[in-house]
Amino acid sequence: MKYRNKILILSAILLIGILKYVPLFYYPKFLQDIYYNNGLIVFILSFLLLLGLVFKWRIRLFEKLIFILLPLIILFSSSKIADINNQIIIKYNTNREVYSSPIVGVKIDTLSNLGEKVFVFNKQFGVFDALVYSPNHGLDSESWEFKNESSFYKIYNSDWWWYKHND
């Protein structure tokens, strides 16, 4: 197999694994369902496939390091990536009547009739992460309730906050 084709195949496998972290402004619903329900499994399987192919094929050491280290860096910095993705969702949904997510694998749910929207992006292995839109939520980072409530992770503005709960 040609060297260029090997790099293209490895790049495609890497993209499949990290697609959950990449903002896309249009994607089919079945893709959202796959990454919402099985995002970690897709990531792990693609990483294992990458490892197998990287060590089987003859490619440059620098490229081997890229294909091995990039998924690991993304995995260990997923909290920071989630924060960036939250900010993208907030900017994307500012002044919109119909809310949607530009991030694959993020499902939107309605909490109550008060207009709260929940962008759920992690609901696996005892962890629940969601970006919540609640108009004029009234949360204050200086308040006693906020500091003692483990579920409030970050307040973005007067309408958006990050809910993070570990069971």
Angle at 148 between CA 145 and CA 154, to 5 degrees: 80
Q: Which residues pair with 131 in a beta bridge?
A: 119, 162
Give residue 150's pLDDT: 59
Q: Which alpha helices (DSSP H) does the chain contain, by range?
A: 3-18, 29-56, 61-76, 78-93, 144-148
**pLDDT per residue of the chain (167 residues) written in tens, 0 to 9:** 787 788 888 889 889 988 888 888 888 888 888 888 888 889 889 999 988 888 888 888 888 888 888 888 988 888 888 889 999 999 998 888 788 888 888 888 766 555 678 888 877 667 778 888 888 777 765 554 554 455 777 888 888 888 887 76
Rounded CA gap, 137 and 118, in Å?
Answer: 13
Instruction: Give Cα separations from 42 to 35, 46, 95, 108, 125 (angstroms).
Output: 7, 6, 34, 21, 15
Residues whose CB falls within 8 Å of the CB of residue 87, separated by 6 or more in sequence, listed in order: 156
Give residue 88's pLDDT: 92
Give residue 118's pLDDT: 85
Give residue 36's pLDDT: 85
Rounded CA gap, 19 and 42, in Å?
Answer: 9
Threshold 0.75, pTM exceeds: yes
Rounded CA gap, 161 and 103, in Å?
Answer: 17
Give residue 141's pLDDT: 59
Rounded CA gap, 112 and 146, in Å?
Answer: 21
82 burial type by CB count under 10 A (0-12 exposed, 13-18 middle, 19+ buried): buried
Domain spans in the chain, listed from the N-terminal domain onward:
3-76, 98-166
Rounded CA gap, 133 and 8, in Å?
Answer: 39
